[in-house]
Amino acid sequence: MRTINFTVLPPPKVLRRDLECFRIASYTGSEALEVKVCPNGLPGIVFQLSTDDSAAIDRITTCSAQVSNIPKLFLHGQGSEPSVMHFRNKPYTTIQVVFKSHALYTLFGMDASSLDQGFLIPDQFGAKELEKHLIATRTNSERITMLGEFLITKLEQSDKRDELIEQALGFIRLHISTVKVKDLLSEFHISERQFQKRFARVVGMPPQLYIRVKRVNEALRMMNTGKYERFSDIAYALDYYDQSHFIRDIKAFSWVTPKSITNKVSEFHNDEAGSSYL
């Protein structure tokens, strides 16, 4: 996005198994923004602050709910609905700690399905002091160091890790164009009932829905490369039944059609943390 400047940074080595990246977004204007965010199956932590030390986000809207009084620091679920983040008319900075899909379970010992579209305030995930320090600190590099140290401590305190589900997530990533749940059951020699239960606990949504979300994210990434002249080529590459099915899925997770994303929306942005637009 031209009006929002993004910087993506890798996590420290000790956290690379559980974190995708840190993403800093800075806005220097004075116009209220509505940033549409496509779900990506990735939970995380958000710290958000305007230049006057107030919260930057006024409210968050999804298809099913609207939430206001957004805390400056919060832990959010993986989400499966597109959302709109309504920012106040002030310059701001946000720092996103983008988790891998399994990390709510691994870092916090949490049943990820309990959070889904919701979020936790600092008191609820042991981050009250962290929030105070983040607000008092004035450089983003120091803030990222603090967030990293907080998560390293969580990792050291946790004994939760579901190796099979993490391997399944890797399999989905490698075979996103064709993978189906039956392929996962065959690959990892597990009953469907057990797999569904464990996947929902670790990832927070059923595997069928997760695959849909990740396939749409891959489609958006491919669209953003500019290498494909026709949407039908992307639909074919990702094994959609037909172009109509492809268009329906894009619209379900972004609120707009592929044509609108390329021709009409303002400032579409795609990176390791996902896709968003104005």
Q: What is the pLDDT of residues 165-181, one digit of tens each?
A: 999 999 999 999 999 99
Dist CA 64 CA 49 (whole Å) = 26
Asked if 75 and 184 sit in the same domain, the reply is: no
Phi, psi of 128 (to 5 degrees): -65, -45
What's the pLDDT band for 140 if we cut at 50, 70, 90? very high
**pTM assigned to the model:** 0.94
Residue 67 lies in a domain: yes
Asked if 22 and 106 sit in the same domain, the reply is: yes
Dist CA 111 CA 223 (whole Å) = 34
Per-residue pLDDT at 261 exceeds 90 = no
Asked if 244 and 153 sit in the same domain, the reply is: no
Q: Which residue has the higher pLDDT, 258 or 151?
A: 151
Per-residue pLDDT at 249 exceeds 80 = yes
Q: Looking at the 3D structure of the chain, how many domains does it have? A: 2
Mean pLDDT of 179-206: 97
Q: Domain end: 92, 123, 157, which one?
A: 157
Q: Are 68 and 59 in contact (CB under 8 A)?
A: yes
Asked if 146 and 179 sit in the same domain, the reply is: no
Asked if 226 and 188 sit in the same domain, the reply is: yes
List Cβ neighbours of 58 (8 Å cut-off, separation of 6 or more). Answer: 32, 68, 70, 86, 87, 88
Asked if 66 and 190 sit in the same domain, the reply is: no
Q: What is the CATH number of the domain that holds 199?
A: 1.10.10.60
pLDDT at 134: 98
Spatial CA neighbour of 162 closest among 195, 209, 140, 189? 195
Asked if 120 and 217 sit in the same domain, the reply is: no
pLDDT at 63: 85
Q: What is the CATH number of the domain that holds 52?
A: 2.60.120
Spatial CA neighbour of 178 closest among 111, 220, 138, 236? 236
Asked if 125 and 39 sit in the same domain, the reply is: yes
Residue 265 lies in a domain: no
What's the pLDDT band for 264 if we cut at 50, 70, 90? low
Please report, as a single letter, which amino acid is at residue 135: I
Mean pLDDT of 132-156: 97
Q: Are 118 and 63 in contact (CB under 8 A)?
A: no
Residue 267 lies in a domain: no
Q: Per residue in 4-42, pLDDT tens?
A: 999 999 999 999 999 999 999 999 999 999 999 999 999
Per-residue pLDDT at 58 exceeds 80 = yes
Let me know the angle formed at the C-alpha of 214 by 212 and 218, rounded to the nearest 5 degrees: 115
Q: Domain end: 105, 127, 157, which one?
A: 157
Asked if 183 and 236 sit in the same domain, the reply is: yes
Q: Are 35 and 87 in contact (CB under 8 A)?
A: yes
Could you please report the per-residue DSSP string of 115-135? TTT-EE-GGGGT-HHHHHHHH
Residue 276 lies in a domain: no
Residue 260 lies in a domain: no
Host domain of residue 68? 4-157
Q: Which residue has the higher pLDDT, 241 or 153?
A: 153
pLDDT at 241: 83
Per-residue pLDDT at 105 exceeds 90 = yes
Dist CA 208 CA 194 (whole Å) = 14
Please report, as a single letter, which amino acid is at residue 24: I
What's the pLDDT band for 133 if we cut at 50, 70, 90? very high
Per-residue pLDDT at 2 exceeds 60 = no
Q: At what angle do helices 181-188 and 207-225 cross, to 10 degrees?
A: 110
- The SS3 of residue 10 is coil
Q: Which range scores top for mean pLDDT: 71-85, 226-240, 263-277?
A: 71-85
Per-residue pLDDT at 248 exceeds 70 = yes
Residue 262 lies in a domain: no
Torsion over CA of 105, 110, 111 and 115, rounded to 10 degrees? -110
Percentage of residues in the chain with pLDDT exceeding 90? 82
Q: Domain end: 157, 176, 205, which one?
A: 157
Per-residue pLDDT at 183 exceeds 70 = yes
Dist CA 162 CA 273 (whole Å) = 23
Asked if 15 and 123 sit in the same domain, the reply is: yes
Mean pLDDT of 110-136: 94
pLDDT at 229: 80
Residue 248 lies in a domain: yes
Asked if 196 and 85 sit in the same domain, the reply is: no
Asked if 151 and 178 sit in the same domain, the reply is: no
Residue 21 lies in a domain: yes
